[in-house]
Amino acid sequence: MFRCLPGLLIGIVSMQAFAAEPKWLVQEQFETFSLLADFRVDAQEIQTQLSELTSELSDVLGIRPTGEPIQIVLFESRKNYLAYLGSTVPTSRDRRAVFVRKGSLTSIYCYRSDALTADLRHEMTHALLHQHVQFLPLWMDEGLAEYFEEAPLRRPSSPRTKSVRWKAAVGWSPDLDRLERLAVAGDMDSTDYRDSWSLCSFLLNESKESRAFLCDYLKLIHEGNAPPRFSEYLTTAGPDWQVRAKTYFRKPMFQTAAKRSDLK
Ligand SMILES: [Zn+2]
């Protein structure tokens, strides 16, 4: 959490301003992204994870890479990461990873930690979303990145799934109105991330209709339309979505079948 910088730096980062190039021990080019690292990292494992993620985003949301370049830059330590980014991307000081879009190039910067895989999946989700749509409601951008940062088999037993079940048992459901008032990622706290993730989980998994509803909203934006606020859009789904959401969160299920056509 609190690790990304979606879109805020578009066009304002001068690559020339970065510190001197470190000595890259890994330099790889894959189909969707290139990888640089200043330490020995299992590039093939990263490629496998991100390739599976890319396939899932395509199957579930209809989002496919545009072919625009994505580069991933990994650092062995936070110290190296900050030495490279610190003065150019000030918010990197508060985050384990950032993504920066400049023109058609998306760069993901991240340093080694136990959460490296999740961080890369999170930032890659942002990167592919931002290739696909010009903008996105902040809560949806973060909610989808939080959702897809976990590999599919980990989602049902993740701590946040358990936490949401407990809260739903005493009447909780995500507060969409509050989420829609959030302006920048820096304003989001852990509750906002949890609720964003929860809403996306509900939309992606409750039913074929709920997932299609989210996909259709993304399609509207992708095609250049100005969509209504999502809360307004939801009213067209009927009056009972909040009841359905509360029911879903009491026993959240995660569709293991990725494709929309396979959903119940
Ligand atoms: Zn994020």
d(CA 71, CA 74): 10
**Protein residues placing their CB within 5 Å of the ion ligand 1:** 4, 142, 145
In a domain, 3, yes or no: no
- CB-count exposure of residue 192 (10 Å: 0-12, 13-18, 19+): buried
Amino acid 15: pLDDT:
47
* Residue 106, phi-psi category: left (phi > 0), alpha (psi -120 to 50), beta (remainder): beta
Same domain assignment for residues 124 and 154: no
Same domain assignment for residues 78 and 107: yes
Confidence (pTM): 0.89
Is residue 117 within 8 A of residue 3, CB to CB? The reply is: no
Distance 238 CA to ligand 1 centre (A): 30
Distance 22 CA to ligand 1 centre (A): 26
In a domain, 7, yes or no: no
Distance 239 CA to ligand 1 centre (A): 31
Distance 126 CA to ligand 1 centre (A): 7
Looking at residue 60, the DSSP 8-state letter turns out to be H
Same domain assignment for residues 255 and 143: yes
In a domain, 109, yes or no: yes
Same domain assignment for residues 174 and 68: no
Distance 241 CA to ligand 1 centre (A): 26
In which domain, by residue range, is 116 found? 15-132
Same domain assignment for residues 142 and 107: no
Distance 6 CA to ligand 1 centre (A): 6
Same domain assignment for residues 110 and 156: no
Look up the CATH number of the domain holding residue 115: 3.40.30.160
Distance 130 CA to ligand 1 centre (A): 12
Structure-token pair, residue 114: 């136990």
Same domain assignment for residues 118 and 206: no
Domain boundary residue among 132, 152, 174?
Answer: 132
In a domain, 8, yes or no: no
> How many domains does the chain divide into?
2
Same domain assignment for residues 199 and 124: no
Distance 131 CA to ligand 1 centre (A): 15
Q: DSSP secondary structure string, 226-249? A: -PPPHHHHHHTT-TTHHHHHHHHH
Distance 185 CA to ligand 1 centre (A): 8
- CB-count exposure of residue 176 (10 Å: 0-12, 13-18, 19+): buried
In a domain, 9, yes or no: no
Domain boundary residue among 132, 163, 179?
Answer: 132
Amino acid 254: pLDDT:
86
Give every residue of the chain whose pLDDT is below 70, as ranges.
Answer: 1-19, 239, 256-264
Amino acid 261: pLDDT:
52
Distance 218 CA to ligand 1 centre (A): 17
Amino acid 185: pLDDT:
83
Amino acid 243: pLDDT:
83
Amino acid 256: pLDDT:
63
Distance 127 CA to ligand 1 centre (A): 10
Domain boundary residue among 111, 132, 153?
Answer: 132
